[in-house]
Structure 1
Amino acid sequence: MATGFRGNGSSSCKYKCDTAANTLQWIKAIADFIRPYSFLINAPVVNFFKDRLWEAVDEEWMECLRKEHVKNLLLIPSGAVQEYWPDSLKKFIRTSKSLALGREQADLQMVLPGWCIASLNTVLSQGMNQKKKHEVEVLSAIISLIASDLKSHAIVDVGAGQGYLAQVLSFHYKHSVLAIDACSHHGNVTSARSERIKKYYSAQIRKSGLETNSLRLPKAMTFHVLSVDALKSLANMSLQDDHADKTSVTGDDLEKTSRQELKGLCSSGKEPSLVLAGLHACGDLSMIMLRTFVECKEVKAVINIGCCYNLLSEYGSDNEGVQNGFPMSFGVKSSGLFLGKSGRDLACQSAERWRNLENEGGVHNFELHAFRAAFQMVLYKYYPEVVATFPSVGRQGKALRRRKKREAALSSQCHEDKLEASQSDLIGGLPDNSNAFSHTISDYGSTP
């Protein structure tokens, strides 16, 4: 169960991972707690309805929750309980909360003295939404501070996407950066975007009368199958004196290149010192970064914000013989814990998002699951040949709902802005502001 609610006793966890013994105790407690509920965890949500899984849930719980107000149901993932609920249900929710990792936010000024955020200019932030801009500003400042303290030769942006983070580290913080991604299109976009940014910075440098030969571009490389070995091979490359030249190669090319040739790319005779960084490193990518850090002495630090943990490959599934993303720990393997795809999806649910839903939004979500389950039952009964093809259902509808929600929010904001503008004109006096008021109505139309 996803947790993270600060209220109602957010520091109630009685477990610690300060020693190996305590960590194993915590792992065992989690495995023992969820094992009896594996039939629910491993089932897709629609199966709760289709296969009547509620019949296996405690009758007293079902009777209680069936009558509960939606707002209280939305608080359950956050660990909140109502005193009039059955004792066994309250114990279940509180135990779940006590087993969850703490989510208190660290004070970065305490952890990283001297750390500060630099606001990005419009050239570097072009194409970023507000969320992405904030993430890049914060993470790039942290990475730059750590990389400078370690005197690293280069930063490797793993899963670089369109190169937003790499370009800020390169152009703004003046680090040597290698941006790698599994998609060659992203590598091309990164290189093209870097060239455009370079023109701006080159012009600024020329205006100041300085030389432009110190201007660096992040290198872009494509790894079709990113692995620990591929990342380790990068440790032979030092980008310290690479400047504006663009380089784009594939992981296949790199692995065919001899170790000596890779060392030839180094501009200094010193042992390479790398920092691995990632913003939204998806699925197994975060695990690959951590394993590389452990196995490769040239990698001095890992700074990573992972995502999409539901896409982790899992030990004990169909992909035997592969170095799986979950679990990494021998302790978890020894516990016999297996989550499965549905369990990993459940683990990625955000308690905060459920908690912040309005009553209408909560009901809407519950209805969607119920109608989707009803549709699945129709497919099973009347179209079994369609079910056999494992169709993907609902993604287009989900995207459409999100778009309509954004449009509704934008429309509401525009409406408020128009009313505010009209009221401001009226307050100033109709005789003096009648033209402005008329202009507002003619431009936007009458308000509903």
Structure 2
Amino acid sequence: MKSGKYSCNTRSETLEWITAIIDFLKPFSFLINAHVVNFFKDKQWEAVDEDWMSCLRNEKLENILLIPSGTVQDHWPASLKDFVHTLRSLSFPREQADLQTVLSDVNVAPLSTVLSQGMNLKKKHEVEVLSSVVSSVVNSVGESTVVDVGSGQGYLAQVLSFQYKHSVVAIDSSSHHGNVTDARAARIRKHFASQMRKSGSGNKCPDAPTTITCRVLSTEMLKSLTNVPLEENDLDLDAAALNEGPKRSCSLVLAGLHACGDLSVTMLRTFMECEEVKAVVSIGCCYNLLSEKTSESSCYKCGFPMSAGLKSLGFSLGKNARDLACQSAERWSSLGEDAGLQNFELHSFRAAFQMVLSKHYPEVLATSPSIGRQGKAFRRQKQRKALETPSKLETSRKDIDKKSTTHTSSSFEKFCLSAFSRLNLEHPQDLDLTATWNEANAFTELIGPYWSIRAALGPVLETLILLDRLMFLQEQGDSLEVSMLPIFDPTLSPRNVAIIAKRL
């Protein structure tokens, strides 16, 4: 497990990597803690090296979008190139690992049509790969029941049950997801039974996964699963129900495909605190939902930091940094010029709208208002319009700069009116949206470079969160076998790093 000169095979190596990240990040706290909606209001570009912004404001958009991937241009200032290269060297590599080389007994088998029904390309890829990894882990630790934590519609659970023939419990907090999982599993089982009858096979049809609906809020909740009567297939349990009735113990392997926020953390803690859990395979996401211990809080089991090593360094992230950790270099590099232009224009509109709120609704601004999916809806409208009139589609940065002020102001006004509606606010009578846009428009060419430089910090922040989890496991001693592997294609699934731990 290496990135440039850094390794994380041992606790001391992991701590060295973590320390290097923190030392590098500290001078850039103004970028990490910034919220881009305040770009114009707070003149955020003024905090960035003037030479960097002067260079990038005239750079090709395609090169700006590659900054988070670690790509630089020869004519850039040496300090900017050093910044980007250092970030790249501190980030955990995301290229998909050769699983058959690093894990024994892994055979990624394609999913049948019936098992993959309803999955998009991303989900199918994730389930194909992760199910094979989990199956390999189960086989290596002995007969165990797999607990699919945060199972959603049960895709992973059903592949592990029907394709790999493992005993599986699918656990999710949503009763709707539980019902969907059961209905989907019933259809799949019916298909398998029909196929076996036609072939004259006497083999028993694979069991469908047991479905449990409950809130997984603590390690105690997951530990209770070691005594659940798994032969019952229609459980709808809360914390109390898990501790009632006839029980039988079993060995468990915990698996989580993008278990959000603290749920991934809870899985790792449960693995350490419950001997019946023989292994864990965790792929986290939604770092913005992590709970965090700060100097003002005393959260005993927060999601970050987990390790004693990182706690001793006294470093905290904050919400904006956790949001930033969700940025994907692969997604940025694959945006394309048109999507990139639209993305930066939307950021400009949102930041200019923040100026409107600051002047006319300061009391609303104090609540950190969200306008929901306004940006995505607006982008879709523009994309539909572009497809209808392809001859008018902007294809370069110069073209977007030459758009008439009237046209851009009109788009900004539509954006603001929609945002007012989302926030249930009246349109101020004395509001001159054209004047507001003209004030912001002089600096709109800076928002792309600024946002790209800031996004380049995302992979390093995610690396810090992942290394903290890895070191938490490494701190438990030599009784564990621990690894951290990028198991998915990052262009399909950017949150592709799995933490795998087994008891020896």
Tell me the TM-score normalised to structure 1 length.
Answer: 0.79
Asked if the contact 2:158/2:185 (under 8 Å) is kept, the reply is yes
Cα shift readout 1:61-100 (whole Å, capped 9, x = no counterpart): 2222222222221121112222222222222222222222
* Correspondence for 1:78: 69
1:127 corresponds to 2:118: yes
Aligned positions, number: 389
Partners of 1:146 and 1:296 lie apart in 2 by 18
* Deviation of 1:143 (Å): 1.6
Partners of 1:318 and 1:231 lie apart in 2 by 29
* Deviation of 1:317 (Å): 7.4
* Deviation of 1:338 (Å): 1.5
In structure 1, give the amino acid aligned to 2:126: E
* Deviation of 1:343 (Å): 0.9
Classify the secondary structure of the residue corresponding to 1:89: helix
* Correspondence for 2:247: 265
Aligned pairs (5 A) from 1:11-410? 13-209=4-200, 215-237=206-228, 239=230, 242=231, 245-257=232-244, 261=245, 264-266=246-248, 272-316=250-294, 320-399=298-377, 401-402=379-380, 405=383
Classify the secondary structure of the residue corresponding to 1:103: coil
Asked if the contact 1:79/1:97 (under 8 Å) is kept, the reply is yes
Classify the secondary structure of the residue corresponding to 2:227: coil
* Deviation of 1:212 (Å): 7.8
Higher relative contact order (CA 8 A, sep 6+): 2
- The answer to which of 159-168 and 93-102 deviates more is 93-102
* Correspondence for 1:423: none
* Deviation of 1:153 (Å): 2.8
C-alpha RMSD over aligned residues? 2.7
Partners of 2:131 and 2:236 lie apart in 1 by 25
Asked if the contact 1:153/1:238 (under 8 Å) is kept, the reply is no
Q: Against the structure 1 CA distance between its residues 308 and 191, is the aligned structure 2 distance closer, same or farther, given a 3 Å change threshold?
A: same
Q: Against the structure 1 CA distance between its residues 67 and 411, is the aligned structure 2 distance closer, same or farther, given a 3 Å change threshold?
A: closer
Asked if the contact 1:379/1:387 (under 8 Å) is kept, the reply is yes
Q: Against the structure 1 CA distance between its residues 331 and 405, is the aligned structure 2 distance closer, same or farther, given a 3 Å change threshold?
A: farther
In structure 2, give the amino acid aligned to 1:48: F
* Deviation of 1:255 (Å): 4.3
In structure 2, give the amino acid aligned to 1:116: N
* Deviation of 1:214 (Å): 5.4
* Deviation of 1:278 (Å): 1.5
Structure 1: tracts of 5 or more residues without a match: 1-10, 413-448
* Deviation of 1:232 (Å): 1.3
Structure 2: tracts of 5 or more residues without a match: 391-504
Q: Against the structure 1 CA distance between its residues 410 and 203, is the aligned structure 2 distance closer, same or farther, given a 3 Å change threshold?
A: farther
Partners of 1:108 and 1:411 lie apart in 2 by 46
Cα shift readout 1:12-31 (whole Å, capped 9, x = no counterpart): 72222233333222222211
Partners of 2:155 and 2:381 lie apart in 1 by 25
Partners of 2:144 and 2:8 lie apart in 1 by 33
Partners of 1:141 and 1:233 lie apart in 2 by 26
Partners of 2:307 and 2:388 lie apart in 1 by 46
* Deviation of 1:102 (Å): 2.4
* Deviation of 1:363 (Å): 2.2
Tell me the TM-score normalised to structure 2 length.
Answer: 0.71
Aligned pairs (5 A) from 1:409-420? none
Partners of 1:180 and 1:137 lie apart in 2 by 20
Cα shift readout 1:128-148 (whole Å, capped 9, x = no counterpart): 122212221222122223212
Partners of 1:20 and 1:179 lie apart in 2 by 33
Asked if the contact 2:40/2:355 (under 8 Å) is kept, the reply is no
